[in-house]
Chain A
Amino acid sequence: MVEPAYTVTSDSETTGEEKSTTFPEIAIGIDIGTSQCSVAVWNGSQVELLKNTRNQKIMKSYVTFKDNIPSGGVSSQLSHEDEMFSGAAIFNMKRLIGRVDTDPVVHACKNLPFLVQTLDIGVRPLIAPLVNNMWRSTTPEEVLAIFLVELRAMAEAQLKRRIRNVVLTVPVSFSRFQLTRIERACAMAGLHVLRLMPEPTAVALLYGQQQQQTSHENMGSGSEKIALIFNMGAGYCDVAVTATAGGVSQIKALAGSTIGGEDLLQNMMQHLLPDSQNLFKNHGIKEIKQMGLLRIATQDAIHRLSSQSCTQVDVDLGDGLKICKVVDREVFEQVNRKVFEKCESLIIQCLQDAKLEVEDLDDVIIVGGCSYIPRVKNLVNNICKGKKIYEGMNPLEAAVCGAAVEGAVASGINDPFGNLDLLTIQATPLAIGIRADGNNFVPVIPRDTTMPARKELVFTTVHDNQTEALILVYEGEGKKAEENHLLGYFKIMGIPAAPKGVPEINVCMDIDAANVLRVLAIVLMPGSREPAIPVMEVRMPTVDDDHGWCAQALNRTYGASLDLLTLRKKA
């Protein structure tokens, strides 16, 4: 077995591109899920999932810290379940990465059997495993990096070559901060990210490949096929609508939210032990053990409910705390009603955004760990009016297989049978815009805009002789500015003195092929086609983390003195 080396390489070492071999290196596909992960690669003729030394294709996403040697679910021989009782195992990194301590998702993670400490001011939470009765701080990026090092070692041992380039799948709802953090974790593990693919778009690519193979067999009757992809894992729920023909998949719409199996589990735990939050608040050794026991018992019960309508939870948490309850599907569905309603609204929203009716769909694809839950299948089925669910995709492997196909395509690999003659035209998962018209979020690049993209909107001053304006760039879906992620800000100075509403401030946003976002501000005065002052171009994000308090500080200092109003949409 390859000895994992937990070295942290600096960014500069890992981002420099050098090609030493004449053969293109095939990038591997990695799907790091909230609870499970897998690695796949294009082997020259098809996608192959890689296995660890215990012959597993799907591994648990966790890292345990013992003494000075962390070890992850890829190589570890010990059972995850036992280690959860000790507080030494860290998991759910994908839910924690790139989030600040005011985020409700972070707060929900406080019920996990390790330490998640928040100060509720908009900074990073403190995350720590319990090692030899000591809370030892770590970060989601570090945990992820340790895990990626193991995955890399596993892939290198099997493929007998060095692995550098990867394609990773990410949830649709990930902010640009979360994407940067994932890239950072990869850099720490010595991996270069060739592409970060929203999970359902990886599935869309695989679907596109399958459709092309079928149309080849039918002597190329390449008519357009429209598919709805519903992906629900432990941490996130994503929906996409794709139109594919001749190997080209156009992503028409995306929708996503931080809901998943983890929420179903927590709601059930809450149902079984209503006082659990209070009981476990201290996070002592005893409480952690109890949390772990309750978690595993609940998880097992949920799994059983996928195949049977009723089950018994029987667990002794110690200290005279025993839970002995019968739960059936009805209870499970009732307890999680809100989660399932959210799933439904995501599908409906995605169809609306794609400007399609259910009747327009050729295929409905359900993937992800939660796809085994009868209620999940039913809700998709109901919205899609009983349309048959697409077969021919393994729900747990589809995303990683798509990532592996993309890895081969993006590495420039050719397939003699045309199996890699594929292209996915991506769309923006979240809107990007600025704060204007008071405290509103005004999107400049709306959600579901085809990438690469370039859009502009014209704004103007709100005060007479206003010579400065503040551009606050946000990403998200909220109507109010502060409901979104603040990506960065800059000030325009030297606007020629004029009555309010006269200067034209052109805000142009550009997302290039590598998903890099640039924001330009151009000041024009009526009657002139030349910019009145030098154009400003700022690459975003300019802030390190999703620090909402930056906006509050700016507001305290400047109030509405540097505000902007929407003038009109440029034709």
Chain B
Amino acid sequence: MASLYEVLGISVGASCVEIKAAYRKLARTYHPDVVGMNQKEKSANQFMMIHSAYSTLSDPEKRAQYDREIYRHRRSGNMVSMSARNQTFSYAASGRKWETDQCW
């Protein structure tokens, strides 16, 4: 699974302007309003993930906290839980595909 930086396709040291630019660029590709009728649901999931990464990284406080967590987890070798997992919903029983497709 990808880190929030990987979701936005930016480096860990990206500036605020770079974060915003990356978010906009991805929104133009993945927002449900710009994709075909048959891809709305998948793109909604992708866009929500992009937006969630953006809202964490564009907020200096949240970003600092995220950076601390990612550092701690890297040291403990537990990268998996540091993915954007907290934004996905894996209730298979709902019958809907809630896990975001792994295209990152």
Residues of A within 8 A of B (CB): 224, 245-248, 409-410, 423-425, 450, 452-454, 456, 508, 512-514, 520, 522, 530-531, 534-535, 537, 570-571
The reply on B70 being an interface residue by CB < 8 A is no
CB pair A423–B34 under 8 Å, yes or no, is yes
A-B contact count (CB 8 A): 61
Minimum CB distance partner of A424 in chain B: B33
User: How far, in whole Å, are A536 and B40 apart by their CA atoms in the complex?
Assistant: 23
B48 within 8 A of A: yes
Asked if A423 contacts B28 (CB within 8 A), the reply is yes
Shortest 8 CB-CB distances between A and B: which pairs?
A513-B32, A452-B44, A248-B24, A535-B94, A513-B40, A535-B93, A513-B44, A531-B93
Report how far A245 CA is from B23 CA in the complex, Å.
11
| Chain B residue at minimum C-beta to C-beta distance from A514 | B40
Q: Which residues of A contact B47 (CB under 8 A)?
A: 452
> What would be 8 A-B contacts, judged by CB atoms less than 8 Å apart?
A247-B28, A423-B28, A423-B31, A513-B43, A513-B44, A535-B93, A535-B94, A570-B86
Closest Cβ–Cβ distance, residue A250 to chain B (whole Å): 8
Interface size class for chain B? 20 to 34
- The one of B33, B55, B89, B94 in contact with A410, judged by C-beta atoms closer than 8 angstroms, is B33
CB-CB contacts of B15-58 with A at 8 A, as 1s and 0s?
00000110010011001111000001101100110010001000
Decide yes or no: A535 and B20 within 8 Å by CB, A410-B33, A453-B48, A513-B44 being known contacts.
Answer: no
Give which listed residue, A248, A535, A571, contacts B86 with CB less than 8 A. Answer: A571
Given contacts A248-B28, A450-B51, A512-B41, 8 further A-B contacts (CB under 8 A): A224-B20, A245-B20, A245-B24, A410-B33, A423-B27, A423-B28, A452-B32, A534-B93
Residues on A with beta carbons closer than 8 Å to the beta carbon of B51 = 425, 450
Q: Which of B20, B31, B94 contacts A520 (CB 8 A)?
A: B94
Closest CB in chain A relative to B68 CB, distance in Å: 15
Write out the residue numbers on chain A whose beta carbons fall within 8 Å of the beta carbon of B93. Answer: 522, 530-531, 534-535
Q: Once the chains bind, are A246 and B48 in contact (CB under 8 Å)?
A: no
Of listed B33, B43, B51, residue having the most chain A CB within 10 A: B33
Q: Do A512 and B40 have beta carbons less than 8 Å apart? A: yes
The reply to whether A425 and B27 form a contact with Cβ atoms under 8 Å apart is yes
Contact B89 A454 (CB under 8 A): yes
In the complex, A571→B66 CA distance in Å?
Answer: 13
Interface pair A246/B91, CB less than 8 Å apart: no
Kindly state the separation between the CA atoms of A508 and B24 in the bound complex, as whole angstroms.
27
Instruction: State whether B94 touches A246 (Cβ < 8 A).
Output: no
Of the candidates B20, B43, B89, which one forms a contact with A508 in the assembled complex, judged by CB atoms under 8 Å apart?
B89
Give the distance in Å from the alpha carbon of A538 to the alpha carbon of B32 in the complex.
22
A410 partner residues in chain B, CB cutoff 8 A: 33
Contact among B55, B91, B96 with A522 in the assembled complex (CB-CB below 8 Å): B91
In chain B, positions 1-23 with a C-beta closer than 8 Å to chain A are: 20-21
Q: Are B20 and A512 in contact (CB under 8 A)?
A: no
Contact of A246 among B24, B33, B89, B95 (CB under 8 A): B24
Tell me the smallest distance from the CB of B63 to a CB of chain A, in Å.
15
Residues of B within 8 A of A246 (CB): 21, 24
- A537 CB contacts on chain B under 8 angstroms: 94-96
Nearest CB of B to A204, in Å: 14
| Residue on A nearest B24 in the bound complex, by CB | A248
What B residues does A224 contact at CB under 8 A? 20
Residue of A nearest to B32 (CB): A513
B28 contacts across to A, CB distance below 8 A: 247-248, 423
Cα-based distance from A245 to B86 in the complex (angstroms): 29
B86 CB contacts on chain A under 8 angstroms: 570-571
Are A248 and B41 within 8 A (Cβ)? no
A531:B32 contact, CB within 8 angstroms: no
CB interface residues, B 82-97, toward A, < 8 Å: 86, 89, 91, 93-96
Give complex CA distance A522, B96 in Å: 13
Chain A residues with CB below 8 A from B27, complex form: 248, 423, 425
**Interchain CA distance A512-B32 in the complex, whole Å:** 9
Q: How far, in whole Å, are A224 and B16 apart by their CA atoms in the complex? A: 12
Chain B residues within an 8 Å CB radius of A409: 33
A304 to B34 Cα, complex, angstroms: 46
Distance A570 CA – B40 CA, assembled complex (angstroms): 26
Interface centre among B43, B48, B91 (most CB of A within 10 A): B91
On chain B, the residues within 8 Å of A450 by CB distance are: 51, 55
Query: In whole angstroms, how far apart are the Cα atoms of A224 and B32 in the complex?
Result: 22
Knowing A245-B24, A456-B89, the reply to whether A425 touches B31 (Cβ < 8 A) is yes
- Complex: A224 Cα to B21 Cα, angstroms: 9
Residues of B within 8 Å of A534, CB to CB, are: 93
CA distance A414 to B102 in the complex (A): 31
The answer for the CA separation of A170 and B94 in the assembled complex, in Å, is: 33
Q: Tell me whether A512 and B24 are in contact in the complex, defined as CB-CB below 8 angstroms, given that A423-B34, A425-B31 are known contacts.
A: no
| Residue ID in chain B nearest A529 by CB atoms | B90
A520 to B92, alpha carbons, bound, how many Å?
12
Chain A's nearest CB lies how many Å from the CB of B77? 21
Q: B91 touches which one: A513, A535, A570 (CB < 8 A)?
A: A535
Residues of A within 8 A of B24 (CB): 245-246, 248
Residues of B near A248 (CB, < 8 A) are 24, 27-28
A513 contacts across to B, CB distance below 8 A = 32-33, 40-41, 43-44
Q: Which residues of B contact A454 (CB under 8 A)?
A: 48, 89
Whether the Cβ atoms of A520 and B91 lie closer than 8 Å is: yes
Residues of B within 8 A of A512 (CB): 32, 40-41, 44
**Which of A409, A452, A531 gathers the greatest number of chain B CB atoms within 10 Å?**
A452
**Whole-angstrom distance between the alpha carbons of A513 and B51 in the complex?**
14
Question: Which of B21, B27, B43, B89 has most chain A Cβ within 10 Å?
Answer: B89
Which of B21, B94, B95: most chain A Cβ within 10 A?
B94
- Mark out the residues of chain B between 58 and 104 whose CB falls within 8 Å of any chain A CB in the assembled complex: 86, 89, 91, 93-96
User: Nearest-CB distance from A327 to chain B (Å)?
Assistant: 48
Instruction: Tell me the bound Cα distance from A535 to B94 in angstroms.
Output: 6
Task: Find the residue from A248, A453, A514 having the highest chain B CB count within 10 A.
Answer: A248
Inter-chain CA distance A487–B60, complex, in Å, is 37
Q: Which residues of A contact B94 (CB under 8 A)?
A: 520, 522, 535, 537
